[in-house]
């Protein structure tokens, strides 16, 4: 299978593309912004879709902000967004835990204050957020560690204070097979634009916990279709009239494929045109599945598909 | 394939077993000791082998002690052991890095002071050992991080101070494909005897680095046959007359199988009789490969195989 470049479509092709969907799901980091810098055209295009009465949902695997904090970020950067249009994994994970956890039990969290905030909002008891570094030697730590008796779930998201003691506690709680194991997302890493830096993602923390716990988590973020079931439950979405826009094929594009959406990769983030060219030629169905229907240099390319210039 | 229990062998079977090898390779944690407590019979059996002129090598994936520190531990617990009989992964990893690294380059180490000590002994320049916790926010960290210019290898071993900044640095250095990626071992976790605790092993740290770096390391420890090549180079070992004793099938037993040794699992550590019964019945060749030739309740069981009672 091959991928169609939006930037080189004919006028007819651009019209056809634009009219082929009435719901837009978009990733945020790498599509709409990099850190706090909006990418060119992002606000015009997304606000333009809404002005044209297309449904818009912002779907992010980022677990470092609460639902409310994301909404604030959208507004401060000039995006029109309402609460039910923002789907983030701190919110989704809390929702999943609330629905599946015995209310008498608590959650051990490896994650950010945003996750704590979302759990609080749903009255789910939790602990673990914040620093937990080794103050003594490992043998002394092992001798003195006390596991909490009422833990019913371990939830792993992005945690800048990830540490050996946290890993130890998570693995030990997860020894009990009745304890739920939930992860916000499994994004491996992010390039830091304009540098040689690689920023480890939640996926690398989740892998560490998986390895020592010997168990796989339930993942709420993309490409898990849980995120879509949540959307479909509460909003009328016709998959055949929906497009998923993203910068990472193994989350955004794969989610779109699994849910029967059209898929569009923008080249302002993780994956490159070279990636999709290689995967297109591959015989491996798992790599073929990562090839988007469309690709574009950036979200800005979509401007030219609007029937009335933005 | 099935596994023979040493504890129920006939007198003839015990004699045949004992005479079938003249070199003994043994794992340490979970076979000879648990933390600092010698397991029953361990010293008598190992010293007994030496008294009977069998060659003995202590082969451990543990990277938290230097060669010299291991030797001290053996002596303090009553094991007869000389320097060339002890093979540990901090030592092996330093040896591998020394042989493969441009001498003008340095090693970024996620690991223990023991690894630093072994690298120092071989005059390999390194940095990274010790605490490296996040003091600011991730964005501030990312803005201010400076990568060292002369890094030629990233070495990952057991590190009680494992942290997000360490993961970040490792992934960033490994972005350059010419930078070597070496791991001491990939043991996932260890049960803590008599508790519900699970102690994460180096394998879980290595998995975190692998995931964000998008690369696989060269592993020097068991089951990598590198450890055996090192032994075979410097010592005359006949694989068909060698037995490997261990408590973990995916390292000790697998190494033995790969090298053509006989294999013996002791049930005082990681794997259980139930594990080998399940794997014996499996159709999966990867699980079949984990089934040891022999198993025993503990190293103590070997006492009964000696021709003259110990």
**Coil, helix or strand at residue A218:** strand
CA distance A191 to chain B (A): 9
Q: B148 or A309, which is more confident?
A: B148
Q: Of the listed B7, B22, B27, B159, which one is catalytic?
A: B27
CA distance A248 to chain B (A): 14
Other beta carbons within 10 angstroms of residue B76's beta carbon come to 9
Q: What's the mean pLDDT in A86-95?
A: 95
For CA atoms A258, A261, A263, A269, the dihedral sign is negative
d(CA B41, CA A108) in angstroms, rounded, equals 41
Give me the interface pTM, i.e. the ipTM: 0.94
pLDDT digits (tens, 9 = 90+) for A183-231: 999 999 998 988 999 999 999 999 999 999 999 999 999 999 898 888 8
Q: Of the listed A7, A22, A29, A120, which one is catalytic?
A: A29
Concerning whether B29 is annotated as a catalytic residue, the answer is yes
b/e burial code for range B130-164 (CB count within 10 A of at least 16 → b): eebebeeebeebeeeeeeeeebbbbbbbbbbbbbb
For CA atoms B283, B284, B285, B288, the dihedral sign is negative
Q: Which of B35, B145, B211 sits opposite A207 (nearest CB)?
A: B211
CA distance B150 to chain A (A): 14
Q: Is the pLDDT of residue B236 over 80?
A: no
Which of A139, A211, A248 is the mutation pick for testing B, counting most B CBs within 10 A? A211
Q: What's the mean pLDDT in A259-281?
A: 96
d(CA A12, CA A18) in angstroms, rounded, equals 10
Residue B232 has a pLDDT of 82
pLDDT digits (tens, 9 = 90+) for B4-45: 999 999 999 999 999 999 999 999 999 999 988 999 999 999
Q: What's the mean pLDDT in B69-83?
A: 96
**Residue in this structure with the two tokens 């999943």, named with its chain if needed:** A96
* B146 vs A contacts (CB less than 8 Å): none
**Coil, helix or strand at residue B155:** strand
Contact B204 A211 (CB under 8 A): yes
Q: Which DSSP symbol is given to B246?
A: E
Q: Is the pLDDT of residue A79 over 80?
A: yes
Q: Are A156 and A206 in contact (CB under 8 A)?
A: yes
Q: Of B122, B135, B91, B134, whose CA–CA distance to B227 is shortest? A: B91
CA distance A223 to chain B (A): 17
Concerning whether B238 is annotated as a catalytic residue, the answer is no
State both tokens at A247. 């910068």
Cis amide leading into A86 (omega within 30): no
Contact A212 B196 (CB under 8 A): no
Q: Sheet containing B242-246: give its strands across.
A: B4-5, B294-296, B262-266, B242-246, B23-26, B55-60, B86-88
Question: What are the angstrom distances between the C-alpha of A305 and each of A6, A8, B304, B306?
Answer: 8, 11, 82, 83
Q: Which of B137, B171, B188 sits opposite A212 (nearest CB)?
A: B188
Interface of chain A toward chain B, CB-CB under 8 angstroms: 35, 131, 133-134, 137-139, 142, 145, 147, 159-164, 167-168, 171-172, 174-176, 188-189, 192, 196-201, 203-205, 207-214
* A29 vs B contacts (CB less than 8 Å): none
b/e burial code for range B180-206 (CB count within 10 A of at least 16 → b): bbbbbbbbbbbbbeeeebbbbbbbbbb
pLDDT bucket at A154, cuts 50 / 70 / 90: very high
* B275 vs A contacts (CB less than 8 Å): none
């Amino acid at each position: 299978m091959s991928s169609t470049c939006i930037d080189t479509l004919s006028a007819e092709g651009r019209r056809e593309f634009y009219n082929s969907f009435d719901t837009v799901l978009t990733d945020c980091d790498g599509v709409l912004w990099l850190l706090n810098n909006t990418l060119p055209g992002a606000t015009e295009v997304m606000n333009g879709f809404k002005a044209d009465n297309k449904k818009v949902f912002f779907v992010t695997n980022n677990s470092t902000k609460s639902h409310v904090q994301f909404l604030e970020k959208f507004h401060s950067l000039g995006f029109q967004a309402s609460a039910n249009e923002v789907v983030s994994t701190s919110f989704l994970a809390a929702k999943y835990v609330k629905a599946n956890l015995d209310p008498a039990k608590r959650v051990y969290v490896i994650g950010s204050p945003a996750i704590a905030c979302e759990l609080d909002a749903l009255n789910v008891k939790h602990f673990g957020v914040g620093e937990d570094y080794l103050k003594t030697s490992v043998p002394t730590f092992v001798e003195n560690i006390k596991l909490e008796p009422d833990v019913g779930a371990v939830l792993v998201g992005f945690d800048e204070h990830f540490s050996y003691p946290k890993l130890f506690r998570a693995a030990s709680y997860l020894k009990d097979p009745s304890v739920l194991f939930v992860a916000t997302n499994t994004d491996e890493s992010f390039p830091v634009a304009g540098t040689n830096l690689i920023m480890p993602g939640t996926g690398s923390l989740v892998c560490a916990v998986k390895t020592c716990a010997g168990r796989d988590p339930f993942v709420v973020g993309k490409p898990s279709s849980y995120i879509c079931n949540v959307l479909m439950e509460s909003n009328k979405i016709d998959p055949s009239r929906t497009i998923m826009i993203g910068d990472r094929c193994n989350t955004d594009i794969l989610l779109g494929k699994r849910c029967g959406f059209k898929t569009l990769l923008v080249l302002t983030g993780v994956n490159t045109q070279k990636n999709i060219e290689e995967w297109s030629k591959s015989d491996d169905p798992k790599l073929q599945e990562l090839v988007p229907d469309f690709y574009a240099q950036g979200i800005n390319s979509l401007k030219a598909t609007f029937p009335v210039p933005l």
